[in-house]
Amino acid sequence: MFCPSPIPETEPPRDCPLCPRLAAHRDAVRAEHPDWWNAPVPAWGDPAAWLVVVGLAPGKHGANRTGRPFTGDGAGPLLFRALATHGLAHGDYEGRADDGLRLDGVMILNAVKCLPPQNKPLPEEIRTCRTFLEDQVVALPNARIFVALGQVAHQSAVKVLGGRLPKCRFAHLAEHRVPDGRILIDSYHCSRYNQNTGRLTDDMFDAVFERALELRG
Ligand code: URA
């Protein structure tokens, strides 16, 4: 049912206790849905990735259920369609961790690995979980281009990549040159809400991956 991490040494334990509010929420959802993943959602993708997509956190009925980032979430179809269009995903996305979809050159990480109540992690939870994001970025030696989906991912990514937040302001398609020649591109989050309100269109999202490919050269 779930997808093993390609970088297992960087993952927290299933019962990670570091954020008491998130651990309590996980226990409550586990009791309600014992057959769901209900644990920190591991990284997923290509360990040789040149591109890293940083999301926010698993959704209750999506990644928290299936154990694979964005899988079963309202944001998944747009993300995986965009990756496939740009040759970065192969196979059919069917909203299941065992659908056979493969990522090529891309790794997907989340700023927060556990399901937050109301999809809103607290600042302290984002800070605590950043240690895992840091370790995961270090474990990806070929990662040069980063795409941050939304403000929370942007802030965590800037900090992990050694950038300075006052200089790196979030805006859709903004590019930030961070130390070691790495580049962060911002995107509005591909949430169902942003799609439904027209804040993020398919074309706007495609432009992010087109730019990533251009920067890769
Ligand atoms: N699912 C994830 O894994 N991350 C997000 O940011 C949203 C949905």
Measure 108 CA to ligand 1 centroid, in angstroms: 9
Are 48 and 142 within 8 A, CB to CB?
A: yes
Q: Which one, of 165, 166, 155, lies nearest residue 129 by Cα?
A: 155
Nearest CA to ligand 1 atom 1: 70
Q: Which two tokens stand for residue 24?
A: 């309590």
What's the count of helices (H) and strands (E) in the chain, helices before strands?
Answer: 7, 8
Measure 181 CA to ligand 1 centroid, in angstroms: 27
Atom of ligand 1 nearest to the CA of 108: 3
- CA distance linking residue 116 with residue 112, whole number of Å: 8
Collapsing DSSP to helix, strand or coil, 53 comes out as strand
Q: What is the per-residue pLDDT for 30?
A: 97
Task: Output the CA torsion sign for 105, 14, 128, 25.
Answer: positive
Measure 213 CA to ligand 1 centroid, in angstroms: 22
- CA distance linking residue 133 with residue 112, whole number of Å: 8
How wide is the angle at C-alpha 152 spanned by C-alphas 151 and 156, nearest 5°?
115
Q: Best mutation site among 56, 114, 126, 189 for ligand 1, i.e. most ligand atoms within 8 A of its Cβ?
A: 56
Identify the architecture of domain 13-216 in CATH: 3-Layer(aba) Sandwich (3.40)
Partners of residue 186 on adjacent β-strands? 148
Q: How many CA atoms lie within 13 A of 30 on its CB side?
A: 13
Atom of ligand 1 nearest to the CA of 150: 6
Q: At what angle do helices 76-85 and 202-216 cross, to 10 degrees?
A: 40
Q: What is the per-residue pLDDT for 112?
A: 98
- CA distance linking residue 198 with residue 101, whole number of Å: 27
Q: What is the per-residue pLDDT for 217?
A: 86
Q: Which residues line ligand 1 (CB under 6 A)?
A: 41, 55-59, 62-63, 69-70, 73, 75, 110, 149
What is the mean pLDDT of each successive set of 10 residues along the chain, which is 217 residues long? 87 98 98 98 98 98 98 98 98 97 98 97 98 98 98 98 95 97 98 98 98 96
